[in-house]
Amino acid sequence: MAILTKEEAKALLAKVMAFSKAEECEARLSGSEQGNIRYALNAVSTAGDVSTLSLFVSSTYGKKTASASINEFDDASLEKVVRRAEELARLAPDNPERMPALGPQDIKDNPAQFINSTAALTPEKRAEMVGQSIKAAKEAKLEAAGFLVNTSGFSAMMNSKGLYAYDKSTNVNFSVTTRNADGTGSGYAAKGFNDVNKMDTLAATKVAASKANGSVGAKAIEPGKYTVILEPLAAAYIMENMFGGFDARSADEGRNYMSKPGGANRLGEQLFDEKVNIYSDPFHPDLPGSTWTGEGQPVNKMHWVEKGVVKNLGYSRYWAQRKNVAAVPGPSNIIMDGTNASLEDLIKGTEKGILVSRFWYIRLVDAQSMLLTGLTRDGTYYIENGQIKYPIKNMRFNESPVIMLNNVDALGRQERTIGTESGRSLLIPAMRIRDFTFTSLSDAV
């Protein structure tokens, strides 16, 4: 029931529109089916299935707008939620930034987002996939804790000006932490795909196990500035913090790292190393995404950084009107170009440096420079003369991804990886960075 077809969703939303008496009405319908299994200490701890279906209705009179939501779908409930939104809208203060609803848009379908086999994943199959992970951990004499979750969902929107948009997608995420019995070694792996057939929990757990056993006997080195090689998992986590800055309004208002002294923004400026190319593309075969925004704007391929130059910033419809430019939806999926170099190639080309498998607990320290702090974990290694010499103790960094992307020494192969806190997938290469700043040691394993 939770995954409605394009036609079923359209029929339901048309019924909502028919109840509306407001000057404008917009309705969004979304549903998902999610199955999950969690384990720790090499045994399953919890498992569940959650199904949701929700309807949001937004009604507008002039500049007055309000919204209401419901999860009951009989005719009386649909009319009730429309009346509630209308009642609230009449009483709401004017919002001078309210933009009129869009008319019909040229929105393309993106069927690559939805994979039937992912949607059909059963509790038994999830248990089997986790069983493989636990088996690999036991074979490596480690304890595994992990989480496997698959989601299939749809979104649809309709407004009283005739706009209708629909898409559906699937996703499966897996993460595993493997630790040895005396707590001196820890490893991690995480993967996310639309297609469950690409998910190999056994291979991922073997990577985590190798990191765990390879991190035993870590030596302390002095914090300071080092050349680092960030594996895609580490690079993705530190980089995904910076994309909120690609917003023209905040930049123009002088309150993010895209602001320039004197009031301008950095559009057109060489802000990063010329090896840096970043874009969004919902039709990329390895990272398919939604083709429309919550307001119903079409999403197409958009370059954010080309050869280190800031090529575009997101403009909301209101800010675009104020600045007399075209509205640009902000970054959707994140794709950064890489090279053909493998991780081993990057290590071989490093005289002295540190290999970072993963970062942890990254938080913003200073919005002005996008300075972030966080720590390494789950496999940090010292490199000398092109070889991994020994594992090192974890360290805290204080570094800005903006400065970091100015210090790009080399890029590796692009890989689909996930942001370990957001859970979203990105296409990011491994990268070798000069002068990355570590500020203290941590005893954590």
Partner 1 sequence: MGAGAMFLPDFSLFGRSVDAAELLNPGPDAAFKKQLADVALTAAKAKGASYADVRIGRYLNQFIITRENRVQNIANGESYGVGIRVIANGSWGFAASNEVTKEAIAKTAERAVAVAKANARIMTQPVQLAPQKGYGEVSWKTPIVTNAFEVPIKEKVDLLLAANALAMAGGANFVNSQILAINEQKYFASTDGSYIDQDIHRLFPSFNVTKVDRNSGKFETRKALSSPVGMGYEYLSATDADKVGGVVTRYKNRYDLMEDMKNATAEVTQKISAKSVEPGKYDLILDPSHLWLTIHESVAHPTELDRVLGYEANYAGTSFLTLDKLHSKNFQFGSKLVNIVADKKQTGSLGAVGYDDEGVATKTWDIIKDGVLVNFQAIRDQAHILGMKESHGCCYAQSWNDVQFQRMPNISLQAGKTPLSVDDMIKNTEKGIYIIGDGSFSIDQQRYNFQFGGQTFYEIKNGRIAGMLKDVAYQANTREFWNSCTAIADEKDYRLGGAFNDGKGQPGQSNAVSHGSSTTRFDGVNVINTARKI
User: Which 35-54 positions form the footprint of partner 1 (CB under 8 A)?
Assistant: 36, 38, 40-41, 43-54
Please, what is the angle between helix 75-91 and helix 6-19, to 10°?
50
Q: State the binding string over 137-176 for partner 1 (x if CB under 8 A, else -).
A: ------x-xxx-x-------------------------xx
Closest distance of CB 195 from partner 1, Å: 22
Query: What is d(CA 207, CA 201) in angstroms, rounded to the nearest whole number?
Result: 10
Considering only 185, 374, 379, 391, the residue that binds partner 1 (CB under 8 A) is: 374
Q: DSSP string of 212-267?
A: HHHTTTPBP---SEEEEEE-HHHHHHHHTTSGGG-BHHHHHTT-STTB-TTS-B-T
Element at 412 (helix H, strand E):
strand 408-418
Stretch that binds partner 1, among 280-288, 303-311, 331-339, 366-374 (CB under 8 A): 366-374
Q: How many residues bind partner 1 (CB under 8 A)?
A: 89
Residue type at position 180 = N
Q: Does 67 contact partner 1 by CB under 8 A? A: yes
Considering only 238, 362, 410, 427, the residue that binds partner 1 (CB under 8 A) is: 362
**Smallest Cα–Cα separation from 148: which of 36, 281, 9?**
36
Is the four-CA dihedral 353, 358, 363, 368 of positive or negative sign? positive
357: its two tokens: 């498998």
Q: Does 386 contact partner 1 by CB under 8 A? A: no
Stretch that binds partner 1, among 3-11, 162-170, 321-329, 367-375 (CB under 8 A): 367-375
Q: Does 400 contact partner 1 by CB under 8 A? A: yes
Residue type at position 115 = I
Residue list 93-112, contact with partner 1 (CB under 8 A): 93-97
Stretch that binds partner 1, among 82-90, 199-207, 410-418, 428-436 (CB under 8 A): 82-90
Nearer to partner 1, 32 or 118 (CB): 32
Stretch that binds partner 1, among 16-24, 309-317, 323-331, 370-378 (CB under 8 A): 370-378
Q: Does 88 contact partner 1 by CB under 8 A? A: yes
Query: What is d(CA 85, CA 65) in angstroms, rounded to the nearest whole number?
Result: 8
Cα 197 to its chain centre, rounded Å, is 21
Nearer to partner 1, 254 or 386 (CB): 254
Nearer to partner 1, 130 or 236 (CB): 130
Stretch that binds partner 1, among 20-28, 306-314, 360-368, 411-419 (CB under 8 A): 360-368
Closest distance of CB 71 from partner 1, Å: 5
Task: Look at the chain and count its residues.
Answer: 445
Element at 26 (helix H, strand E):
strand 24-40
Say how many C-beta atoms besides its own lie within 10 A of residue 69's C-beta. 13
Q: Does 217 contact partner 1 by CB under 8 A? A: no
Closest distance of CB 296 from partner 1, Å: 19
Classified as helix, coil or strand, 17 is helix
